[in-house]
Chains A and B, each alone.
Chain A
Amino acid sequence: MISCANLVKTYNIGKDNELTVLHDVSFSVDTGEFVAIIGTSGSGKSTLMHILGALDRPTSGSYVLNNHDMLALSDDELADIRGRNIGFVFQSFNLLSRATVLRNVMLPLIYDNVVPVQERHARAEQALHAAGLPEDRWDHLSNQLSGGQMQRVAIARALVNNPSIIFADEPTGNLDSKTGEIVLDTFQKLNEEHGHTIILITHERYVAEHASRIIEIKDGHIVSDSQNATPRRVHMTS
């Protein structure tokens, strides 16, 4: 599904503060995997995710997603791929604060041009169920929710267009450990029960251990890539 080779990302090319953040990053991810990318702050994780998520382009290297040569596509084609094949979950949720939960979840569908308008509502409800947000919250404004609930709305939004892959950048970073676990449990369920491919980015080993494969990145190099035979389980009922 994902296959990238020799990815290099250099910021501020040609200027005094030129900085190469990714060096020769190569790996691939299969459909249905739950991969954690771990590394200290500043190691280049977000930069890598932006490239994999078609939000940014690498300085050099190659990247194929779902048989698309991503570096050959135009900005509009990349936008289409983001809209149809990719879901994002951000550390800071990035919800429209003055919009209801349902409007937030349906937001990707207005750019998608595939899902018929009359199906949007059903899609959003499905996604909210999958993300585990109780129904009595769906008509709330998103800024009236707790952090954990906000992140579930964000997850539902990432799911709503049935993406082939979900990127989550420090999704538990703004949550307390208990709510963080609920979110991680949700990702595990999405992966195991619904078969979603997930790439989870974190600087915490504990969080990474919920995934079934862990790639470690340091100063823009991959330093290890191993299967995690016994993903950490969340022991709670929610």
Chain B
Amino acid sequence: MHFSDLSNETYAALVGNKVRSSLTILGIVIGIGSVIAMISIGQGAQESVEDSIESIGSNLLMVYPGASRTTGMRGVSQGAGSAETLTTEDADAVSSSIQGISGVAPEVSTRVQIVANGNNTNTSVVGVTDTYADVRNITLDTGSFITASQTKGYAKVAVLGPTTRDDLFGENTDAIGQKIRMNGVIFTVIGILTEEGGTGFGSADDRILIPLSTEQQYITGSKAINTLYIKVAEDADMDTVQSNVTDVLMKTHNIADGGTADFTVYNQADIVETASSVTGTFTLLLGAVAGISLLVGGIGIMNMMLTTVTERTREIGLRKALGAKNKEITFQFLAEAVALTTIGGVIGIIFGWGTSTIIGAVSDLSTSVTLSPILLAFGVSATIGIIFGWYPARKASRLSPIEALRYE
């Protein structure tokens, strides 16, 4: 039997039962398509989490008040405001006594009701210093950033995030020079931040930056800061700087060696790692759900092949009478199963790819189609085709020609 005969026979058999072939292919399409779409969503989530963490700034160390409770994310999510052990003096101590640092940016943040232009909004007001823009990779759309002298002089100036500007003054209006009121204090808008998009850590567009001293004086009423960002000059120095920071802060806080620190130092790698492992689990979970539908598709193939074998028993008998060997019957049925999974696989890849592109375009989820889930889905479907097609094919080939011919 030539390969061309095998493919002709397969084609004729599949086209001869269009409806059933299409439904079986549909099962595989859904299985493979959902594997690819789900994994692309998971990987997209993973990448966007990693991106937004990286957008915090490269080579960044973060110091939070309070002792470390668990690792990673937990500290990040509840670090701010949970204790008042970190102050502006700590920031000064770090920047004056440690080598290898290119910038130190203390931050205090609290939610405040803001009134301007007859509009009301409630958002985060973040007290920062002039170094903040460099350390946190922040750029301005218009106007200027908070200067060192403004921080020193308790200036009542504010830099708005684009969303806050839109909320208070209307979309894309020029708000420079406008007045806003927070806690009864009037601030002048001096700059608007560039839109960052996304909802990741610290990249929100809806916030207001004011001088740290002003925030401590008029809004929080305390010397405490929520976070101390430290930008390390060289990648290679991260670990050294991290331990130096710990040592200096232990000393300024008068904590003896071996005592429990009342602050926690994280580096960016820790956070990326933790976040990635969380989204990795998420991807795996989505993949498992999709894998189940792939399995269901495979069982659909087996079901179709078994029905086909039963329905075509007489045909099998005839082919054997005409000289077909067992192997040739096996190949024929196997080829049908493999063809079904291959067609379903190709359409499924296109479908999954399309779905994930559409999801990425119309929703907030970002998606990322990579080669490995495509290979995985295709490999799995090919395996399913062979395994689930093999059993019915064997069954067909083992029929005795006369029993098969007699079959009604």
What residues make up the interface of A, taking CB atoms closer than 8 Å to B? 50, 53, 55-56, 75-76, 79-80, 82-84, 88, 90, 94, 96, 98-99, 103, 107-108, 110-113, 117, 157, 161
Contact = CB atoms under 8 A, between A and B. Distances in A.
A76 B401 contact: no
Q: Which 7 interchain pairs have the tightest Cβ spacing?
A: A83-B323, A111-B323, A110-B5, A108-B322, A79-B325, A98-B16, A111-B324
B323 A82 contact: yes
A94 B323 contact: no
Contacts of A82: 320-323
User: How large, as a class, is the contact surface on chain B?
Assistant: 20 to 34
B328 A111 contact: yes
Contacts of B328: 111
A33 B144 CA distance: 111
B4 A79 contact: no
Given A84-B323, A108-B322, A111-B324, A96 B315 contact: yes
A76 B401 CA distance: 12
Contacts of B320: 55, 79, 82
B2 interface: yes
B50 interface: no
Contacts of A75: 325-326
B59 to A, nearest CB: 69
Nearest to B315: A96
A210 to B, nearest CB: 24
Contacts of B317: 94
Centre residue among B12, B16, B326, B405 by max chain A CB count within 10 A: B405
Given A53-B321, A96-B315, A110-B9, 9 more contacts: A50-B402, A55-B321, A56-B401, A76-B325, A82-B320, A98-B12, A108-B323, A110-B2, A111-B328
A134 to B, nearest CB: 24
Interface in B103-119: none
Nearest to B318: A94
A80 B322 CA distance: 9
19 contacts: A55-B321, A55-B402, A75-B325, A79-B324, A79-B325, A83-B324, A90-B405, A94-B318, A98-B12, A98-B16, A99-B12, A107-B319, A110-B2, A110-B9, A111-B1, A111-B323, A111-B324, A113-B1, A161-B323
A84 B402 CA distance: 19
Contacts, number: 64
A80 B315 contact: no
B307 interface: no
Interface in B1-18: 1-2, 4-5, 9, 12, 16
Contacts of B327: 76
B227 to A, nearest CB: 74
A114 B325 CA distance: 15
B323 A55 contact: no
A79 B323 CA distance: 5
Contacts of A112: 323
A82 B405 CA distance: 15
A140 to B, nearest CB: 16
A110 to B, nearest CB: 4
B314 interface: yes
Nearest to B17: A98
Contact of A107 (B4, B322, B325, B401): B322
B252 interface: no
Nearest to A98: B16
B1 A110 contact: yes
Nearest to A112: B323
B2 A83 contact: no
Given A90-B405, A94-B314, A111-B1, A80 B16 contact: no
Nearest to B326: A75
B222 interface: no
Given A55-B401, A117-B2, A88 B321 contact: yes
Nearest to A82: B323
Nearest to B12: A99
Contacts of A56: 400-402
Centre residue among A55, A56, A108 by max chain B CB count within 10 A: A55
B26 to A, nearest CB: 22
A30 to B, nearest CB: 24
Contact of A76 (B12, B326, B400, B405): B326
A83 B402 contact: no
B328 to A, nearest CB: 6
Centre residue among B4, B317, B323, B328 by max chain A CB count within 10 A: B323
Contacts of A161: 323
Contacts of A96: 315, 318
Contacts of A99: 12
